[in-house]
Amino acid sequence: MLSRALNRPEAWRVSRALACRLVAYDGNVTVGGPPAVRELAGLVLTKVAVGPMDNNAYLLRCVKTGEQLLIDAAAEAPTLLGLLGPGPLTLVVTTHRHRDHWQALAEVVKATSARTAAHVDDAPGIPVPTDVPLHDGDHVRVGAAELEVIHLVGHTPGSIALLYDEPGGRPHLFTGDSLFPGGVGNTHGSRENFESLINDVERKLFDRLPDETWVYPGHGADTTLGTERPHLGEWRARGW
């Protein structure tokens, strides 16, 4: 009945969303597999993995207004566009300038007329013009919800994380390639960049946010700050 009432792409989209809600969110997604959907206070979060570099992309939809924000239009524009609900995609935030995080950006922007945002230090390295240059401490909005921009220097000069402080819940942190389960992002053998990144990650994330903070990285599985906190000394000692 549902499939007959909707056109074929819309029926697929709705049935996929319903299926996702039957499974508890654990953040584990695979390229070509279904997205994972998590309902937060004020936002619905959809995580999907896209190839060829197994990147994560995150769609945030405001519960009150239906407006949507995409974090990293990494690749596979049709996959990303297929996540969208009926509300407008108002903004695409690119966490840093590396190519695998913006390969679908031009196509997504063309299809949706969404604005683009990136840190001012990385914007020149992204071939799609940046409409909203970001700085540390700025806030971006998706409908009635707000995310804080946190500048983390080291993986690239303009890498950022986005923090959503869920009302009545835990903080949610989208870290791009600056923090993963098991360590900070790749600094390509530069001791200076490593020291910069781990200092920023310690001071701006671990020193400030509680253990229950959920971490959504640019690749792979999710984690929490509490899971990673005991290993900060190990990361410093190994230098990566």
Task: Judge whether 103 and 79 are in contact, CB under 8 Å.
Answer: no
DSSP letter for each residue of 195-210: HHHHHHIIIIIITTS-
pLDDT band at residue 23 under the 50/70/90 scheme:
low
14 pLDDT more than 50: no
All domains of the chain, ordered by start, with CATH?
2-238 (3.60.15.10)
Distances (CA, A) of 6 to 1, 3, 34, 85, 208: 9, 5, 20, 14, 47
- The pLDDT tens digits of the residues spanning 154-183 come to 999 999 999 999 999 999 999 999 999 999
Point out the least confidently predicted range of 4-8, 12-16, 72-76: 4-8
pLDDT of residue 53: 96
Which helix H or strand E contains 106, and what residues bound it? helix 105-112
CA distance 144 to 172: 16
- The pLDDT tens digits of the residues spanning 189-206 come to 999 999 999 999 999 999
pLDDT band at residue 19 under the 50/70/90 scheme:
very low
Distances (CA, A) of 94 to 12, 41, 109, 231: 28, 24, 12, 28
Q: Is 112 helix (H, G, I), strand (E, B) or coil?
A: helix
CA distance 152 to 136: 9
Task: Give the pTM.
Answer: 0.91
What tokens were used for 162? Answer: 């986005």
